[in-house]
Structure 1
Amino acid sequence: MNASLAPEQPFPDQPQEAQESPDLNELFDRYATLRDTIQGLEGEREELGAVIKAALLAGQSAETDLYRAALKRSRRLEYPVSRFREVFGDAATLEVASIDKKKAEALAKAGDLDAGALADLAEVKEVVSLVLMQRGS
């Protein structure tokens, strides 16, 4: 436990009421309240983000005095499991099934997989993220 949260000796310049440290149950209650509040806010943020992203994808725009909404697109490679299995077989599929693309690429680099066939399997997936852009900068 962090001793700085509940000092044994009160600070001399604090009033008597402020010198009493909360007990562990009070600290835990505050922690639980903050966690629940944050989780609720994060859920609301995700819901609002989905609505805003859909509107921006439909051509609308949104901004406040401080921010302008923008969409950031990023791409990543994925290998479809069914096609990967057809090309490389069950053993190779099982070996990389729970591993990301880096594992498959490492196997190709080591010569365990045909690098050309792996490259042909690759699909680019686009991810769209909501970004707040500072206005006036």
Structure 2
Amino acid sequence: MQCQQVAMMFQKLVAEDGILEVTDISEKQETKGRPVGLNTVNLLKVASSALGFGPQMAMQLAERLYTQGFISYPRTESTAYPPSFDFRGALSAQRNNPTWGNYVEGLLTSGYQKPRLGTDAGDHPPITPMRSASEDML
């Protein structure tokens, strides 16, 4: 069962009973490796699991973001950035964002790690933010 489904189940139980008792809390530390670049397949997976979008809706939204200049071309199988990719420039385009601009500024100041090496399918580079957007703009 996915985390979202579990959360919805508990939300329904609390709404019905009006009571929730927390009996135990556990904590564990996990480390995740750096991600590879985002390709179309992974975009569709994230859109489905995190946002509940079907593939058609996800691609329509991605195409709209592309035509409006917010992301790079969304139909790609590549997860590897070319050696000449300007990561600093891509980050700089996000530095004034009201939500994550401070985080980006910290990356630009303190340093950042490039994504893990992925696969170059020979078509287009991974899907990349091209310009900053606020919720109001979208």
TM-score range, shorter chain: under 0.3
Higher helix share: 1
TM value normalised by structure 2: 0.21
TM value normalised by structure 1: 0.21
Structure with larger Rg: 1
